[in-house]
Structure formats: structure tokens, C-alpha cells
Amino acid sequence: MRIEESQVLKTQPATPGRDGHGLRIRGSTVQVSKTVIRENGASGLAALDETNTPSSVTVEESRIEQNVIAGLFVSDRSKLEVRRSRIANNQPFQGEFGDGVSAEGMAELVLEGNTIEGHRLAGQFGVLLLFFVRATLTSNEIRNNGWGVAVGNPGISFEKMRVAFFNNRFASNNQCGLWIDEDPQIVISGSGNLFAERPGRAICGATSKVPSGF
């Protein structure tokens, strides 16, 4: 399925913050282009599997704004690729985080050429990566979030993740630009990244995982 030059707006669940995704994709291949996904009552877009069939979703040149819990969510071995899009000002709900992009559950995530901003609360993340995720972030502007990118969760053991960063710019994130958990199975790679953060707030957590020239 292809969704192009469309608007997905204000889908409202019976209970706010629950089953009110703008797009909930299960076991499908979907392309989203030049589309606005905004003000939905749960995640703007959720890519999940269906009876062990993962989804493959591409989002290009779109705006994902002011949704609840997460702008974009991928899990269940599904793959999400997002390019040249704006992911901004997504909102928390009753203890949920309200992140820009959230990936977990053996998902694969590719972010390229996006602006991810405006998730400003202390517990909000521009990008949150958990549980066995593989991710590549290239040439993104990640700014004005509570945390720019978080890799892992300190309350979870045995997270096995490989995350690569190339030529991203981190700027003016409140808590930290990039936070990395101590789990020994988390591997960080990449180069050419720029940090315009407060002193001591560029890279936090397991800084020894960051390679030379990062």
C-alpha cells in the first residue's frame, strides 16, 4: 500500500493514549510519502508484526507531529525507514513518554536526513532504542529534546543492540545529546557527528563505547 500527499489527523481512542494510532500497520509493506500525521490519540504510526509476519514501512518527506506516546513506533522484528521528514512535538500521556521515534523488540530502524525536535520534557526522547534493536542514523538534526537519543535502558539487562551514527547533528537537548547504557552487548559505531550541546552533555552514560572520530 502507498499513502501519498494525505493527512492522517485526530484519530481518537475510547481511552486517550491507547488504541488510537494514526496508522497501525501489522504484517504489511507500506510506503508513506508527503503526508501529515498529526494529533492522533496514540502513536502517529506503529509498525508491528501479524502472526510472525513483520511489517516493512517507509516514510519519506512527511510530518509527524503532536501525536500521543510516540510519533513513530516500531517493534516485533519489523523494519521502519524514515527519510527527509519532520518528527516534532509528540506528547506524553499519563506516564507514557511521548517520544519522537521509539524502537524495540528486534526491530530495524533507519533514520536519514530528518529533523527530530520538540520533545522537551525530562523524560522525553527524540529517539529511544530498546531490546535487540538494529539502527542506523545518518544526517539527522536532533535538537531541543529532553534527551536526543537514548540507546538502552538501565533497568534492563542483556540488551543486544548495534547502532551506527553518521554525520548527525545534536543540539540543545536538555539532558544529553546521546545517552548509552552500560550493557556490554550494546555496540556503537559511526563517524562525523557534531555535538552542539552544553559542556558534559554531549555524550552520557557508557562513553567508552564511542569510537575514535565519532
CA–CA gap between residue 7 and residue 171 (Å, rounded): 30
Are 133 and 106 a contacting pair, CB within 8 Å?
Answer: yes
Q: What is the DSSP string of 6-63?
A: -EEE----SSTTSS--SEEEES-EEEEES-EEES-SS-SEEEE-BTTB--EEEEES-E
CA–CA gap between residue 186 and residue 64 (Å, rounded): 28
Tens digits of pLDDT across the chain (214 residues): 999 999 999 998 766 656 789 999 999 999 999 999 999 989 999 999 988 899 999 999 999 999 998 999 999 999 999 999 999 999 988 766 789 999 998 999 999 999 999 999 888 999 999 989 999 999 999 999 999 999 998 777 778 999 999 999 999 999 999 999 999 999 999 999 999 998 889 999 999 999 999 9
* Residue 189: closest CA among 207, 159, 170, 162: 162
Note the pLDDT of residue 103: 97
Q: Which residue has the cell 493514549?
A: 17
Structural domains of the chain ordered from first start: 2-209 (2.160.20.10)
pTM of the model: 0.95
Give buried/exposed letters for 165-193 (b at 16+ CB in 10 A, else e).
bbebbbbbbbbbbbbbbebeebebebeeb
* Residue 196: closest CA among 166, 179, 176: 176
Name the residue type at position 126.
Answer: G
Note the pLDDT of residue 17: 54
CA–CA gap between residue 46 and residue 121 (Å, rounded): 22
Note the pLDDT of residue 97: 76
Note the pLDDT of residue 16: 60
Note the pLDDT of residue 92: 87
* Residue 106: closest CA among 147, 139, 140, 135: 135
